[in-house]
Structure 1
């Protein structure tokens, strides 16, 4: 089968390898769509390293169960599915306390074991979710949407909260939609010349520059002291400092960037303002699938380029262009 293999930063190759064979309670998925996410891009740039090299990246996966490891799983063959990415042990303290994504013995698809930028990928049967009723395009958004839902699971918002979403890439645009569903007052922060601005406005956000947002909060937030909740989704090391300046005292910053770079910010201001910085990543797949099935979240306009797997290197390079939101690969 054809796969994309990352050997080191900047060294991505299209290769032919043997198809994997599922064993035990594992299944083989024929990949129909896989997204390039911020983590994949950081691996490619070298700012964030996967847990093994070489590796087949990719964890935003939609496909069909093609083969199974034992007869008890044969009913799954032909199912239209996506997969969670953390192959946890189920026995450790973290797993037993509902934090399986932090299992110290986990393997992570596309990060520590081979992922979905391939014709086939292996996953454990208990990690798959049916995506019947969704397009392949929508199915490949389940994982990132679940990650956005998780930020609100970690720190729920009151209705009508004042929210700033800093950065209008995939995570930012998904956040805008989810926050609108909750009845939040959403401002999106982006560069004045951002080519994604129109999409953010179409999704219901008032878009402004960082400087404009600072002025806006002086007249549109309590005592002019900032937003209740700030989503940092810039994918840039500078994003946290921007979020810190926008959040109100005792407000919350939802940290969503995985750029892999060290970050410098005004630590004293964070302490004086008593700000909570809440990181979050993997989230509830069934909630994400439900929102997509009900068409409450629109991802159609978020896919800006689609490439065949054979053009994977070109696709990665394309993903860094400013007008790109989500680049998908089709094996």
Structure 2
């Protein structure tokens, strides 16, 4: 089959990559989104080698569960061993023996086919298009914030970053909090949020410092973390929502002095994300900038790296 394989240094489109073996559900990939994590992996994050990609929608072509064959699905990316204490507590995403689609010990979605256990798959309703469905995984990651902390509707909330994930985080938090400000660097991206009624700013002003109850960092950069620490009130909360491949040192002194609660946040629940798309609570209109066939991956990756672009999609 056709697949994009990363050997730790180079990304190549292989025409004869082995088709996944059965034993799990076999999914024919319809489209897959290029995520910030994919770009970080190409820079050395997780030391991953294999087929990239974890945001996808596809059709089940083989499964022991005949009810889902022929159905459109998305998939939770963490596959636990089901035997350890974490898995027995329902925390498969923290299983020490887990594999992660396109990230850790499991080939991903930048291919014609992928496999996942049936328990990881979620059927997509007809009211949700493929173009919407590829956002289920990052929307679920945004919903994880609501699982981790109890949001106060009266909080002043800041989102640091204006990219793909930030846009979705804003949409999710907007369902609980009315006072949200997004700090970014790209006017086009901020304009989209402004149309949703979100306050937007380029750069931090003196009156912004130490004025937010909750700050969500979603830039994937050291500077974004430092900005977050400058925005959050003493005894406030900072949600760390992005991975950073940089090995530069970070000064955590402000977190100690100001008694900041730092919350790491990763994957989240798929069902609320699917329901939010199906009911129209969350809109992803205007997020997809372009689609590329798999063999045009170099152009697609370069396009996705452009700071003015929100989402690039690969079509196997």
Q: Which residue of 2 aligns with 1:74?
A: 66
CA distance in 1, matches of 2:47, 2:139: 22
Moved more, 226-235 or 175-184: 175-184
Q: Deviations over 1:174-205 (max 9, x none)?
A: 111111111330001012x5431211212221
Aligned residue number for residue 323 of structure 1: 308
Q: 2:55: which partner in 1?
A: 60
Query: Within 1, Cα distance between the matches of 2:248 and 2:181?
Result: 24
Q: Does 1:295 find its partner at 2:295?
A: no
Q: 1:173 matched to which residue of 2?
A: 167
What does residue 268 of structure 1 align with?
253
TM-score of the pair, normalised by structure 1? 0.91
Whether 2:196 is the aligned partner of 1:198: answer no
Q: Distance in 2 between matches of 1:131 and 1:75?
A: 13
Task: Please state if 1:189 is matched with 2:183.
Answer: yes
By how many angstroms is 1:263 displaced? 5.0
Unpaired segments ≥5 residues, structure 1: 218-224
Partner of 1:109: 101
1:13 aligns with 2:8: no
In 1, Cα distance between the equivalents of 2:264 and 2:145? 7
Match of 1:253 among 219, 231, 238: 238
CA pair 150-247 structure 1, distance change in 2 beyond 3 A: same
Cα offsets for 1:290-309 (capped at 9, x unmatched): 11111111112111121111
Measure, in 1, the Cα distance between the counterparts of 2:187 and 2:241: 20
Residue deviations 1:249-306 (CA, integer Å, cap 9, x gap): 1110010111322354442221111101101111100011011111111112111121
Tell me, yes or no, if structure 1 residue 49 matches structure 2 residue 46.
yes
- Structure 2 unaligned blocks of 5 or more: none
2:78 aligned with 1:86: yes
TM-score, normalised to structure 2's length? 0.95
Partner of 1:37: 35
Query: Alignment partner for residue 136 of structure 1, among 130, 133, 136?
Result: 130
Matched pairs, number = 313
- The alpha-carbon deviation at position 74 of structure 1 amounts to 2.1
Q: Say which SS state the counterpart of residue 151 (structure 1) adopts.
A: helix
Secondary structure of 1:242 counterpart: helix
